[in-house]
Chain A
Amino acid sequence: MKLEAHNLNAFYGRAQILFDVGLKADTGEVVALIGRNGAGKSTTFKSLVGLVTARTGQLVFNGTDISGLPVHDIVRLGLGYVPEDRRIFTDLTVEENLDVGTQPARAGAPSWTKERLFELFPNLAGMRNRGAGRMSGGEQQMLTIARSLMGNPSLIMLDEPSEGLAPKIVEDMANAILTMKDQGLAVLISEQNLHFAKMISDRAYIIEKGRICFDGTMAELSNNDEVRNTYLAV
Chain B
Amino acid sequence: MSFLFIQFLNGLASASSLFLVASGLSIIFGVSRIVNFAHGSFYMLGAYMAFTLVHKLSGGTIFGFWGGVVLAAAAVAVVGALVEMILLRRIYQAPELLQLLATFGLVLIVQDLVLTIWGPEDLLGPRAPGLRGAIDIFGQSFPQYDFVLIILGPVVLGLLWLLFHRTRWGTLIRAATQDREMVAALGVNQSWLFTSVFTLGAFLAGLGGAVQLPREAVNHVMDLQIITEAFVIVVIGGLGSVLGAFLAAVIIGELNAFGILIFPQLTLVLTFLVMAVILVVRPWGLLGKPEGVVRGGAGAERPIKPLSPTGRNATVALLVALLALPMISGNYGLSVASEVLIYTLFAASLHFMMGTGGMVSFGHAAYFGLGSYGAALTVKYFGVPMLAALVAGPAVAGIAALVFGWFCVRLSGVYLAMLTLAFAQIAYAVVFQWSSFTGGDNGLIGIWPAPWAASPTAFYYLSLLLCGGGIVAVRRITFAPFGYTLRACRDSALRADSIGIDLARHRWYGFTLAGFFAGIAGSLYAFLKGSVFPDTISIATSVDALVMVLLGGVQTLAGPIVGAATYKILHVSISSYTDQWRTALGVIIIVLVVAFPMGIVGFIQNRLLRSGRVEDAA
Binding site for B on A (CB under 8 A): 12-14, 49, 51, 70-72, 75-76, 81, 83, 87, 89-92, 96-97, 99-103, 147-148, 151
Q: Are A72 and B190 in contact (CB under 8 A)?
A: yes
Expressed in whole angstroms, the Cα–Cα distance for A154 and B179 within the complex equals: 24
Are B178's CB and A91's CB within 8 A? yes
| A14: chain B residues within 8 A (beta carbon) | 613
Could you tell me the dominant secondary structure of chain B's interface residues? Answer: helix
A75: contacting residue among B171, B187, B613, CB under 8 A:
B187
Interface residue tally for chain B (C-beta within 8 Å):
21
Given contacts A13-B299, A13-B300, A72-B190, contact A100 B175 (CB under 8 A): yes
Collect the chain A residues with CB atoms within 8 Å of residue B189's CB: 72
Instruction: Contact check, B187 vs A103: say whether CB atoms are below 8 A apart.
Output: yes
Q: In whole angstroms, how far apart are the Cα atoms of A90 and B177 in the complex?
A: 11
- A100 touching B178 by the CB < 8 A rule? no
Partner of B186, one of A70, A92, A151: A151
Q: Which residues of B contact A49 (CB under 8 A)?
A: 185
Q: A49-B185, A71-B185, A100-B188 are in contact. Are A87 and B179 (CB under 8 A)?
A: yes
Closest to B297 in A: A53
Q: How far is the CA of A71 from the CA of B187 in the complex (A)?
A: 7
Cβ contacts under 8 Å, B186 to chain A: 75, 100-101, 103, 147-148, 151
- Check B183 for interface membership: any CB of A closer than 8 A: yes
Bound form: Cα–Cα A100–B190 in Å: 13
Residues on A with C-beta less than 8 A from B299 are 12-13
The complex places the Cα of A90 from the Cα of B175 at a distance, in Å, of 9
B279 to chain A, nearest CB (A): 22
Contacts of A147 in B (CB 8 A): 186
Q: Contact between B171 and A96 (Cβ–Cβ < 8 Å)?
A: yes
Residues of B within 8 A of A (CB): 168, 171-172, 174-175, 177-179, 181-190, 299-300, 613
Closest A-B pairs by Cβ, 7 of them: A75-B187, A87-B182, A71-B184, A89-B175, A100-B175, A76-B187, A101-B186
Docked-complex contact B174 and A72, CB < 8 angstroms: no
What's the minimum C-beta distance from B357 to chain A, rounded to whole angstroms? 24
Cross-chain contact A92 with B185 (CB below 8 angstroms): no
Bound-state CA distance A81–B272 (Å) is 46
Give the shortest distance, in Å, between B145 (CB) and chain A (any CB): 37
- Give the CA-CA distance A71 to B172 in the complex, in Å: 16
When the two chains form their complex, are residues A91 and B172 in contact, meaning their CB atoms are under 8 A apart? no
Q: A13-B299, A72-B190 are in contact. Are A92 and B184 (CB under 8 A)?
A: no
B178 in contact with A89 (CB, 8 Å) = yes
List 19 extra interface pairs beyond A83-B185, A89-B175, A151-B187, CB under 8 A.
A13-B299, A14-B613, A51-B181, A51-B185, A71-B181, A72-B187, A72-B190, A87-B179, A89-B174, A89-B179, A90-B178, A91-B174, A92-B171, A92-B175, A92-B178, A96-B174, A99-B171, A100-B175, A151-B186
Closest to A79 in B: B187
C-alpha gap A51/B179 in the complex (Å): 13
A96 to B260, CA, bound (A): 45
A100→B172 contact, CB < 8 A: yes
Closest residue of A by beta carbon distance from B189 = A72
> Cα distance A97–B178 when bound, in Å?
12
What are the residues of chain B within 8 A of A83 when measuring CB–CB? Answer: 182, 185
Tell me, in angstroms, the Cα distance from A70 to B192 when the chains sit together. Answer: 13
Determine the distance from Cα of A96 to Cα of B168 in the docked complex, in whole angstroms: 9
Report chain A residues within 8 Å CB of B175.
Answer: 89, 91-92, 96-97, 100
Chain A residues with Cβ below 8 Å from B179 are: 87, 89
- B177 near A75: Cβ-Cβ < 8 Å: no
On chain A, the residues within 8 Å of B185 by CB distance are 49, 51, 71-72, 75, 81, 83
Chain A's nearest CB lies how many Å from the CB of B300? 6
Q: How many angstroms from the CA of A160 to the CA of B5 in the assembled complex?
A: 62
Give Cα A87 to B178, complex, Å: 9
CA distance in complex: A72, B183 (Å): 8
In the assembly, what is the distance between CA of A100 and CA of B613, in Å?
A: 43
Report Cα–Cα, A51/B184, bound state, in Å. 9
Tell me which residues across on chain B come within 8 A of A13, comparing CB atoms. 299-300
**Nearest-Cβ distance from residue A75 to partner chain B, whole angstroms:** 4
B172 closest partner in A (C-beta): A100
User: Which of B172, B175, B187, B188 has the most A CB atoms < 10 Å from its CB?
Assistant: B187
19 inter-chain pairs at a CB distance below 8 angstroms, sorted by A residue, are A13-B300, A51-B181, A72-B190, A75-B185, A75-B186, A76-B187, A81-B185, A89-B174, A89-B182, A90-B178, A91-B175, A92-B174, A92-B175, A92-B178, A96-B171, A99-B168, A100-B172, A101-B187, A151-B186
Bound CA span A72–B71, Å: 34
User: What's the nearest-Cβ distance from chain B to residue A11, in Å?
Assistant: 10
- How many Å lie between the Cα of A102 and that of B183 in the bound state? 11
Using CB atoms, name the residue of chain A closest to B613.
Answer: A14
List the B side residues contacting A97 at CB < 8 Å: 175
Whole-angstrom CA separation of A92 from B186 in the bound complex: 15
CB distance from B420 to the nearest CB of A (A): 29
Once bound together, how far apart are the Cα atoms of A49 and B184, in whole Å? 10
Task: Say yes or no: A91 contacts B182, CB within 8 Å.
Answer: no
